[in-house]
Chain A
Amino acid sequence: MTQTANAAPGTGAAITARALTKSFHGTTVLHPTDLHVPAGEILVLLGPSGCGKTTLLRLIAGLERPDGPDMLRFDGEDVSGVPVERRNVGMVFQSYALFPNMTVGENVAYGLKVRGLPSAERRAEAGRLLALVGLEEHAGKRITAISGGQRQRCALARALAIKPRVLLLDEPLAALDAVLRERLRAEIGLLLREFGITAVYVTHDQAEAMAIGDRIAVMQAGRIAQIDRPEVIYHRPANDFVADFVGTMNRLAGPVRDGRLVLDGGDTRADLPTGGPDREAILCFRPEAVRLRDGPGEGAILARITATTFFGATQRLLAEVAGQVLRLDLPSGLTFRPGQLAAFSLEGPALLEFPRNG
């Protein structure tokens, strides 16, 4: 069997795009976008529907034609004029897109059949991939005879069978139920790393993005708002939109005087050190960034608890400070009663401030 360079682990192609742009009927869905995905990286495109993430994926695949003279390279080779049939990209769709008139094994072998591989070879190769995704028992079954999770693993095996230079996944888990989704995303993440393949993975689910991506590109209205490692996206979001889309973010708005934001709501108050000049500021922090402390003072939030929700290891408190609502996550061992006052401290690095919009 011929061993192409792509087959060895860790040698997927690097993707480089310059000024990829796409509009439909006069509406720009993807503003000029530059992108570089190093070989072997899993990049997740994350964003709400209509943000342009699927369009960007389809442009990389060659399923859409970009507006202008574009530049798209796989490992330095210009592929912008190469149709999808010859781009050698693996695709996994939300609807699985398995061929219902073929068995599981025939689906996986289809790309090899089109390439003219002899029947015995492609059956062996399909068998190897089915074993990899844990479907070796099901090779002879009809597509309708296997479950949703099995179908998506079959689709993944089919896409990997052609030894693609780049694997493109469009919301592959969106059609599955929550438990299965969580299990399968761990499996897929492991498998992709094992293959060392360059992958672009589209999702609107931030937990999925965090779990799978080496890097995440958060997209907003046809632009990449931020592209970075998951920890950075979470702890240092570039703007309001990213902060809200990835996890929960608390906001406290008020005046900063002498490097401190002080809110006085009578019995509730906040006194947070910010530094910098006097200004109207919005300070942001994650729910889990607070610690319970003994009493109010410098660097503290004294809040009235309005509701508690038990989550198992943690509990989510709804609290109010000077008329502003906060969501706070604390260990579930602590007891809070609605109506009580509680003091929390907030470590400096947890505090973020974004430029005020409009």
Chain B
Amino acid sequence: MRTRRFDLLLILPLAVFTLAFLILPLARLGVTAVEGERGAMAFLAILTEPRYRASLLATLLLALATTAGTLAIATVAAQTLANRRFPGRGLLLSLLTFPLAFPGVVVGFMVILLGGRLGLVGGVTRAVAGTNVVFAYSLTGLFIGYLYFSVPRVLLTILAAAEKLDPALVEAARSLGAGPLAIQRDVVLPALFPALYTGGALCFATAMGAFGTAFTLATNVDVVPMLIYTEFTLATNAAMAAALSIALGLITWLALALARLRPAGV
């Protein structure tokens, strides 16, 4: 079994990496979580204590909304860009992917410039309607910030898939009498599903765990990553922080696993 041994050798670097940076710290995290004054009940507290539960729910909803919004924008944009060649296409693409390199803090700062107390939107609404509309420091602000850095990533993934889609598939569906909605439902979206899944998973996981933007904006909201930060630094409750971290990881993993179950026949 020489080849078998060779295969094991190939996977060894990843195995070492996984062990050193994933399994060992996770185990340590698990131990820390149950070593607190509540013991293993710390996990239960996440669900029973209103402050934790509300935070978890808000984070989950925010991540879901971000994923849905990102997928909607990116799917439409990718299909529009995929089969069209026009002057400035390259420039537009590079502009769209510009936010890829921004740290979360910069994204947060941009949302403040847009919807903060002295922001662009507030200025316009104050001049027009007399009220200063401020949304930067709420879930809305986080949602916009997350969209801003998720769309480019997901767009690139879906664009690659959309460009590979055989145009004859759509033409065949049209010749059979299918309208635009039927073509999306029966032909395009099923073909793009792997890319939608990959992009959506990336987006969801990022939105669940993003910290920089939340740290900049979240004065009114407590998303789970912020909660972990405050539990750990301000409340010096390491056990609760560890339990929350594990819960965050598990829920994200579960959501991605659920999304992978495709409806039968699709």
Measuring CB to CB, which residues of chain A are less than 8 angstroms from any residue of chain B?
A: 61, 63, 83-91, 93-95, 97-102, 110-111, 114-115, 155, 158-159, 162, 168
Contact = CB atoms under 8 A, between A and B. Distances in A.
A110 B179 CA distance: 12
Contacts of B175: 61, 63, 84-85, 87, 89-91, 159, 168
B174 A85 contact: yes
19 contacts: A63-B171, A63-B174, A86-B177, A95-B166, A97-B168, A97-B169, A99-B187, A100-B190, A101-B190, A110-B173, A110-B178, A110-B186, A114-B176, A114-B179, A114-B182, A115-B177, A155-B172, A159-B176, A162-B176
Contacts of B190: 99-101
Contacts of B1: none
Contacts, number: 66
A84 B186 contact: no
A180 to B, nearest CB: 20
Given A110-B176, A162-B176, A97 B182 contact: no
Contacts of A98: 172
SS class of chain B's interface: helix, strand, loop or mixed? helix
Contacts of B186: 99, 101-102, 110
B126 to A, nearest CB: 48
Nearest to B266: A101
B191 interface: yes
Nearest to B262: A101
A97 B177 contact: no
Contact of A84 (B174, B187, B266): B174
Nearest to B177: A114
Given A95-B166, A100-B190, A114-B176, 12 more contacts: A84-B171, A85-B174, A85-B177, A87-B175, A99-B169, A100-B191, A101-B190, A101-B266, A110-B176, A115-B177, A158-B176, A162-B177
B172 A97 contact: yes
A345 B7 CA distance: 72
Contacts of B173: 99, 110
Nearest to B179: A85
Contacts of B168: 93-95, 97
Contacts of A91: 171-172, 175
Contacts of A97: 166, 168-169, 171-172
Contact of A93 (B172, B176, B178, B179): B172
A95 B173 CA distance: 14
Q: Which of B168, B172, B178, B186 has the most CB of A within 10 A?
A: B172
A93 B191 contact: no
Contacts of A168: 175
